[in-house]
Amino acid sequence: MDLALANKFYRKMLLIRRFEERCVELYSKEKIRGFLHLYIGEEAIAVGLMDSFSPEDTVFATYREHGQALARGIDPKKIMAEMYGKVEGCSRGRGGSMHLFDAATRFYGGSAIVAGGLPLAVGMALSDKMMKRNRVTVCIFGDGAVAEGEFHESLNLAALWHLPVLFVCENNLYAMGTALEFTQSETNLAKKAASYRISSRQVDGMDVTEVAKSAQQAVAEIRLGNGPIFIEYLTYRFRAHSMFDAELYRNKAEVEEWKKKDPLILLHQEWQDIDINKYESEISNIIDEAVNFAENGTLEPIEDLEKFIYSLEVAQ
């Protein structure tokens, strides 16, 4: 880690933070609708993680994926246009906030069924192995996914078949509004993963340096062909689960306590030479541009409603 990398990480985390804050404003203005799940507080994971992959690697994410999409390098303009439901969006506006997809960066969504992306990641890694491509598939999910059967089925398959998957659990302590201790018999989730003979670790998810270090190491190990790795990143979301969440299930003191570990503040404390003001102004412009782009985007004509159900036109 040097100042250049610290600058890069800070800038990316700030981009996510400010992007998300703008999304909240736009939601209040009813420019963005539907579900909106914010990544504020968890930025270090996406940024540290995405820095460790190469362009040919594959990403499967969840419905709280704006941060990962930005960190992976999808144009903020295309993401914002997607939020607006415009044709210029990264999923042509068909997906919205929860379904960001981008072939160019191998970003496969954007899945809104908890744990639904895990089997897909296993399959993608299987195809890489079969086609002898030295790729890694990263599969990101939350602590809630660990309670799903698909988590266990998928980890078992990936370990059994020695597949190149990095399973990333963003443990923010709550599955929507239910605390981990109310849903898991074993709250150390890395232990659960280890029971499938998967090399598993618990890492501080608020420290971008630690995230990047652990991810790079994991990716290097996976590329050797030794099978999957599981990392549980301990993190916290500073905002509500979604725009409909009144946050009755946790107290303000707890939130404030975690805010002391704000990944942006932590990084700045460590690298005080980061030129925060420069990035604030640059990012503010980037987001303005993105909003402008989305505002001026095109609404898909209703005549196209039945497109993208089948690859070729099918008379139904």
Partner 1 sequence: MSSIITYREAVRQALREAMEHDERVFLMGEDVGHYGGSYAVSMGLLEHFGPQRIIDTPLSESAFTGAGIGAALGGMRPIVEIMTVNFSLLALDQIMNNAATLLHMSGGQFNVPLVIRMATGGGKQLAAQHSHSLEGWYAHIPGLKVLTPATIQDAHNMIGLALADPDPVLIFESAMIYNSKGALDTQALPLPIGKARIQRAGKDLTILTYGSSLFKVLLAAKTLIAEGIDAEVIDLRSLRPLDNESIMKSVSKTHRVMIVDEGWKSGSISAEIMARINEQAFFELDAPMARLCTTEIPLPYPKHLEDAALPQPDKIVAMAKKLMEKS
Residues binding partner 1 (CB under 8 A): 58, 89-95, 99, 101-103, 108-111, 113, 116, 118-128, 130-131, 149-150, 153-154, 156-157, 160, 307-312, 314-316
Cβ proximity to partner 1, 127 vs 226, nearer residue: 127
301: DSSP letter: P
DSSP codes of every residue in 56-99: TSEEEE-SS-HHHHHHHT--HHHHHHHHTT-TTSTTTTSS-TT-
Say how many residues make up the chain: 316
Task: Confirm if 243 and 98 have CB atoms less than 8 A apart.
Answer: no
Measure the CA–CA gap between 151 and 53, rounded to whole angstroms.
Answer: 23
Cβ proximity to partner 1, 6 vs 115, nearer residue: 115
Cβ proximity to partner 1, 91 vs 209, nearer residue: 91
Max CA-CA distance within the chain?
63
> At closest approach, how far in Å is the CB of 279 from partner 1?
31
Cβ proximity to partner 1, 54 vs 269, nearer residue: 54
Task: Identify the three-state secondary structure at position 25.
Answer: helix
Cβ proximity to partner 1, 32 vs 155, nearer residue: 155
> At closest approach, how far in Å is the CB of 54 from partner 1?
16
Measure the CA–CA gap between 63 and 36, rounded to whole angstroms.
Answer: 9
> At closest approach, how far in Å is the CB of 58 from partner 1?
8
> At closest approach, how far in Å is the CB of 309 from partner 1?
5
> At closest approach, how far in Å is the CB of 106 from partner 1?
10
